[in-house]
A and B are shown apart, each in its own frame.
Chain A
């Protein structure tokens, strides 16, 4: 029983670390544009870092048929876009305020972050 309990507690610790504490590597936007694939429930890449002075084009390529993936929201920038299936939807951003701008679908199951430094 002890083994089960230790195993269970270890799983809980792993969940907390993996989903909440771990900070994933961020993709640096080099060419003023980033292609983000929307597929299988995730944005790839989901963590993007840009400089505040740098204008950037986020190119969302939606390959997921699920209706959840259709809407892209960046609430802090007041952006709401419908992503067309199997097509690239471009969002040009300039003068973005510093900080983290979370982008997600309507239900927040797809989540990503644009970090402006």
Chain B
């Protein structure tokens, strides 16, 4: 069940679900005792709701069973008690059903159900194809060998009558869905592909039967039958639909892979006992045990143990991540080395994996603006084709050579059959589906089709320095004393002052003090001065910490120390001044190393013709040194957080299509203003709702991958749209007979049927080529 608020689109978790779970929880708590275990069985053969009562009653009558509750929707039953599994299975079998423990049964999730349904439909279409071609192919061969299928003698009439009735059988068995669909659409004042096929094949059959029953109603030269066309068209289009269905299955492989990451069961600890339960029975604050080699079933926080976890399936980051106490673990990732216990913090639709799946699904079904024209055309397409078909028939009747009526019927039928709204309609969504899925595989989450399209056109990319180009974990590298005599005292006072700030540089200083076991002092009157630094008092001393602007504002004389600060900045370090009671006490320099692969990723962006610009609140010298190291020639230094958006706007005014990459929280206004906002995360804790495109791993190569996959997808969409437009624009006039006066060429309805059937297949297959897309090696 999905809830939407139309003002602010949101997918909420179902409220009734939590109510249900809490009541289940209470029930479970009441029934738990030392000897009691819970088991879940999958029931086979339960086809009606009344089966539920029978199965529950049979289980409850089994000695040792305290409760049995069946979920009819997923055909599972949860049994509490002391009875062993075999007895429970026997109890179910005694009332005529089969049962298996959940872990032994192939898990039937939505993907499996869809695949099973698709397989049934595929078999049906192939059977329909076989029946139609069984009649159509011999008739086709006959028409080629013998020539025109005319009706002149009574024997021929009788023979063709039999063939006509057989064709009617094909229409009923293999093509019934076209006629029902067309009729229902017609009643609904709408028209679709079924309408065209039903009209085309219906016209050919009706005309042929007219020739058989009342040959005198048509001129002698026009007494042809087109039963082979009807049967062949139905067969070929059914075949096209079957092959398209197969090809479509491949377009959703990425989402299937993501869904497949979800664990089916979890081992929870209740009353010091391990109980294996289905994933949807896990509650918030449950304690879950995960052994090496097992998947993390839901999101949580480690409360015992230490391990390394492979998060590559979500982030694309190949190196396992170390996890210890209080670290977050995420559903779908793989526990590699140690056993851990973790406390559940998110379940169901709230887990990071569920949100990623939901976002990818939504993005896969959204359309980039490039597809809008095709949408508009699709909405009017079928009635327009019907009108063209009638006009074509009238043109042949009025101006065509004899047999004009036969030509009119052939051209009208062929126009209806060759026109393919599906190719147009599928051109964009199929490519988006594969492209967005491919991006997700590389740890790149694209919000929607519009972001996908714009990302392919980016001409300028703004990169925030800290945490984007650099690691974002600065360390204290130098303490140069000015009017102070002791490094430890300086670090103690500076760290005490900075403990009130959340700035990464401040945290580096606090961390440095803590590493040296320096005790922090109590500070008072803390005040953060945006873009400059902080001030506070400690033990009656007035403390100041920040950049040269702050020192100038507070009239602290820096003297010769500005040269020393500049020298540090040239080494890509960030020097900060620390003053006590209005006198400079020391310069503390902090350095944030550039990520190991930032330089190569920036080169990839530049090689794609993208103007790369660095943005930082740091001083000019440090910014220049970092930019130089990273291979960036343009940068803006000393930019206040609120000015980042202005820089985006400035570039947009220069005519650039601007991408902005930041951490998704501090850079929110700039990310929102940019043509495409990229939130870069480290691991799975990234806020995936905060940007147009989210990079699940910290590497800037994710950025280059996102742009590369966007370009590849847009190229694919253009190929598809071009193919679909050209096919229809060229095919329809050809079918109407515009080439006949010049070259004597008129398309056969059978060829038109084959072309139509395979045009959609071509579009889907071309979209599938995107699956071969590989992000550049790095």
Contact = CB atoms under 8 A, between A and B. Distances in A.
A31 interface: no
B361 A11 contact: no
Interface string A84-101: 110001111111110000
Contacts of A12: 387, 390-391
Interface string B373-407: 00100111011001100110110011000000000
A15 B378 CA distance: 16
A107 B120 contact: no
A66 to B, nearest CB: 7
Nearest to A75: B367
B774 to A, nearest CB: 27
Nearest to A23: B189
A54 interface: no
B365 A80 contact: yes
Given A79-B9, A91-B2, A96-B6, A42 B181 contact: yes
Interface stretch (B144-152, B191-199, B266-274, B597-605): B191-199
Given A24-B189, A107-B426, A93 B4 contact: yes
B546 interface: no
Interface in A57-106: 65-68, 70-71, 73, 75, 77-82, 84-85, 89-97, 106
Interface string B173-187: 000010011101111
In this complex, the member of A67, A81, A90, A94 whose beta carbon has the largest number of chain B beta carbons within 10 angstroms is A67
B681 to A, nearest CB: 23
A92 B186 CA distance: 29
B75 interface: no
A105 to B, nearest CB: 8
For chain A, the bracket of interface size reads 35 or more
B517 interface: no
Interface stretch (B110-118, B161-169, B502-510, B736-744): B110-118
Contacts of A22: 189
A110 B365 CA distance: 15
A20 B364 CA distance: 30
A109 B195 CA distance: 10
Contact of A108 (B120, B181, B378): B378
Contacts of A24: 188-189
Given A107-B378, A109-B425, A73 B365 contact: yes
In this complex, the member of A18, A22, A42 whose beta carbon has the largest number of chain B beta carbons within 10 angstroms is A42
Nearest to B116: A85
B188 A79 contact: no
Nearest to B179: A40
B82 to A, nearest CB: 36
A44 interface: yes
B6 A94 contact: yes
A16 interface: yes
Interface string A22-44: 10100000000000000111111
A77 B194 CA distance: 28
Contacts of B425: 106-109
A41 to B, nearest CB: 3
Given A106-B365, A106-B425, A41 B9 contact: no
In this complex, the member of A82, A94, A107 whose beta carbon has the largest number of chain B beta carbons within 10 angstroms is A107
Given A24-B189, A80-B365, A90-B1, A95 B390 contact: no
A109 B192 CA distance: 5
Interface of A: 1, 4-5, 8, 11-12, 15-16, 18-20, 22, 24, 39-44, 46, 65-68, 70-71, 73, 75, 77-82, 84-85, 89-97, 106-111
Interface of B: 1-7, 9, 110, 113-114, 117-118, 120-121, 124, 177, 180-182, 184-194, 241, 244-245, 248, 361-362, 364-367, 375, 378-380, 382-383, 386-387, 390-391, 393-394, 397-398, 421-422, 424-426, 429
